[in-house]
Amino acid sequence: MLAQEILDKGAKARRAADALALFSTTAKNQALAAMAEALLAKQEEILAANAKDIVNGKQAGLGEALLDRLLLNEKRIASMAHGLGQILALPDPLGDILKGWMRPNGLQITQKRVPLGVIGIIYEARPNVTVDAAGLCLKAGNAVILRGGKEAIYSNLKLAEILALACEKTGLPEHSIQLIESTDRQVAHDMMQAHGLIDVLIPRGGASLIQSVVKNASVPVIETGVGNCHLFVDASADHEMAIQIAINAKTQRPGVCNAIETLLVHASHTHELLPKLLRQLAAAQVEIHGCEETCKIFPEAIPAKEDDWRTEYLALKLAVRIVPSLDAAIAHIRDYSSKHSEAIVTQNYANAERFVNALDAAALFINASTRFTDGFEFGFGAEIGISTQKLHARGPMGLEALTTYKYIVRGEGQVRV
């Protein structure tokens, strides 16, 4: 038997979702505007609630980084309100007719984009996810059940209360936005098992959270996250371009999933391009974990172990391997890739095509940085996350990822023979 809070909120969310699906874009945008205003108007209440979390976090011995993620201030609240305004400005994904055709018996079939229904979001310490997820789900016509980290419980309760009230005041269905109040782990587990009550679960956070949801959920999950991304510098690569892309893909923001973790370099570059590139990476504070050949030409490199090829460092570290051919690079990537983002730098047409056709990943880049795997950089105007699974949505997810479709079949009395 599921926890009572899950049963209650699940049933309320379903009723809200049924009603919400019929509201216009204008009505949803009014709610988003009201939600943004309410955050600014109730800043004091939010800061007071957040202060409780910060005190509790310090007592519990949370580290600096975690306390910083937890912390809200005027600027961060303004930024959350601004984010809702950006969601408001996005086109409504609903109502599009994706396909339509007529059958020989005269039936007219249309495939129409509709909301997913009830979305569950499980996340960690950052309270801004509460606002962002609520706004995105609402814009796509979904009811949302939020379950944040226990460290942020007072902040999240206050934020959810403000958002839900503002939303309801504009006439949208009550319970469109709900937050799980219990911080009991069993309740989160029951949320993952709420098959039939929740249509899809999206975990947002670190690898261990995501793995726990994937492992325990009977509700369909959209998996996001892990990126063990590669850059291959082909024999024909433009040297300056290879250096620019490698430096960008590793150092522009090393802690994110679309940064590269392994650099594969064609053996023809061993004595000219590669040493130059490694010196520039080292100058940018990147720790090199090199294959045997790499260590020979760049003695500062740490010898790479098997594990280095598998590791998502999320730090200024880079595994480097010299490979004899494009096919050897493809074989390496097939063995170790998490199928997130892979890039080649090349001037050779056949090699560019082979790389993007032979490899299986959410995004494959020719002569561009892997850092572009991102909802905003793709032009989606929003990002729910970057899907690393193959069902439903792959790669950067915009609002469309929060929708499904239904078939509407119009007839004149047709029966099946």
Interface with a copy of itself by CB under 8 A: which residues?
A: 17-18, 21-22, 101, 103, 107, 109, 114, 116-117, 195, 199-200, 214-215, 218, 220-223, 238, 241, 244-245, 247-249, 252, 334, 356-358, 360-369, 371-373, 377-379, 389-392, 394-396, 404-416
Q: C-alpha angle with apex 133: 175 to 253, nearest 5 degrees?
A: 170
Closest distance of CB 265 from a copy of itself, Å: 17
Decide: helix, strand or coil at residue 194. coil
Closest distance of CB 279 from a copy of itself, Å: 19
Q: C-alpha angle with apex 241: 238 to 242, nearest 5 degrees?
A: 80
Tracing tokens 């996001």 back to the chain, one arrives at 224
> Which one, 22 or 65, has the nearer CB to a copy of itself?
22
> Which one, 82 or 195, has the nearer CB to a copy of itself?
195
Q: Determine the Cα–Cα distance for residues 289 and 287; give it in Å rounded to an integer.
A: 7
Residue 326 falls in which region: left (phi positive, over 0), alpha (psi -120 to 50) or beta: alpha
Residue 61 falls in which region: left (phi positive, over 0), alpha (psi -120 to 50) or beta: left
Q: Determine the Cα–Cα distance for residues 204 and 257; give it in Å rounded to an integer.
A: 13
Q: What is the DSSP string of 136-185?
A: HHHHTT-EEEEE--GGGHHHHHHHHHHHHHHHHHTTPPTTSEEE-----H
> Which one, 63 or 379, has the nearer CB to a copy of itself?
379
Closest distance of CB 84 from a copy of itself, Å: 24
> Which one, 242 or 278, has the nearer CB to a copy of itself?
242
Q: C-alpha angle with apex 239: 235 to 243, nearest 5 degrees?
A: 115
Q: Tell how far CA 60 is from the center of its chain.
A: 29
Are 141 and 27 contacting, i.e. CB atoms less than 8 angstroms apart?
A: no
Closest distance of CB 228 from a copy of itself, Å: 12
> Which one, 206 or 407, has the nearer CB to a copy of itself?
407
Closest distance of CB 215 from a copy of itself, Å: 5
Closest distance of CB 166 from a copy of itself, Å: 26
> Which one, 79 or 404, has the nearer CB to a copy of itself?
404
